[in-house]
Amino acid sequence: MRKLTLIFLFFLSSKSFAQNFFITSNFGLMGYGGDLEPKAISLNVPHSTYSFGLTYEVSRHVFINSLYTNGMIEGNDAYSLKNRDRNLKFKSKINEFSIGAEYDFLDLYNLPITPFVQANFSVFHFNPFLEEGIKKYYLRDYHTEGQGFLPNVPEYSLTQFAVPLGVGFKIALSENIKAGLLLSVRKTFTDYLDDCSTNYVDSISLHKFFKDPKQGDLATHLAFRKNLLNKDLYYSAAVSPGINSKRGDPTNNDNFFTLGLTLSIRLGKKYSEEMDFEKYNKVNVSCPKKNTFVVPKIKP
């Protein structure tokens, strides 16, 4: 592994190899769409995000990129007219690694600006949690919909795949520096970014699963939160919202997105053909200097 790393660094440091690589960074906002936010792109509760990685210039129009992205998503029924009384909310950190391709519609070596599209494949980690005061509860640990112990309700994985699809534009600040704006939506294959997907689990089942009454009460509190808005509702071990009563919508998977500024800086300087030609002319096409011959003086 050490030898491979040294070989990679050697090629990366060579001028001919490095001039096709860009260090790429993105800074902006991250948001979420799902059961607690029906819009695929919404900035109700945005959080900051950043990315960094490498981009390889295959041609003047085609690029291969590899990026690490860090951010946070959040959803809250308080912003929903339809599900406000459900009173669910969550946050989750996102750590994502992606690889994919970009296509520039115009040639940035000849024009100052171009639209572009992006298609990637990524793997990401998430872990939804609920904050109450100074306490933080990771919701997957409390099986809020009976995941892992009810029939046909499997426990979800915290590491998932996604397909990021992006669109934006780039500006050439120079041959070696490019800036732009990118909107990238991640189509995921899970409906549990928000820990909400199917039906309520009854409190009796939660208490049987946890055995500890305090843990059962806490799991019930995290699963059913309507009573926090309506004090007439009391959801105890003997009361249930009803078997198979709807909590989320399993027919649509959740997604998250990033919107931000991009900056790409070439690792090695690159000169266009026109610049090389002008440099060649300056060196080789200049007029030759007039030769002079000095006759030595001969002493008598």
* Each residue's pLDDT tens digit, 24-56: 999 999 999 999 998 888 888 999 999 999 999
Q: Give pLDDT, residue 82.
A: 83
DSSP 181: E
The pLDDT score that the predictor gives to residue 202 is 86
294 half-sphere exposure, CB direction, 13 A CA radius: 2
- Containing 34, the helix (H) or strand (E) segment is none
Q: What is the pLDDT of residues 228-242, one digit of tens each?
A: 765 554 444 444 565
Model confidence pLDDT, tens digit, residues 177-231: 999 999 999 999 999 999 999 999 988 899 999 999 999 999 998 998 877 765 5
pLDDT on residue 282: 47
Domains, the chain, with CATH or none: 19-140+161-193+255-276 (2.40.160.20)
Inter-residue contact 105 to 116 (CB < 8 Å)? yes
> 60-83: per-residue pLDDT in tens?
999 999 999 999 999 999 888 788
Neighbouring C-beta atoms of residue 201, cutoff 10 Å: 26
CA distance 89 to 286: 73
Averaged pLDDT score across all residues of the chain: 85
Q: What is the reported pLDDT for 203?
A: 86
Which pLDDT band holds residue 248 (cuts at 50, 70, 90)? very high
- Pick from 93, 79, 89, 73: nearest CA to 38: 79
Q: How far apart are CA 99 and CA 81, in angstroms?
A: 38
Q: Which amino acid is at 256?
A: F
Best CA proximity match to 256, nearest among 115, 124, 106: 124
3-state secondary structure of 130: strand
Q: What pTM did the predictor assign?
A: 0.81
Q: What is the pLDDT at residue 239?
A: 47
Say how far apart CA 110 and CA 90 lie, in whole Å. Answer: 47
For 152: left if phi > 0, alpha if psi spans -120 to 50, otherwise beta; the answer is left
Dihedral of the CA atoms 132, 138, 144, 146 (nearest 10)? -160
- The pLDDT of 283-296, averaged and rounded, is 50
d(CA 252, CA 196): 11
pLDDT confidence of residue 197:
95
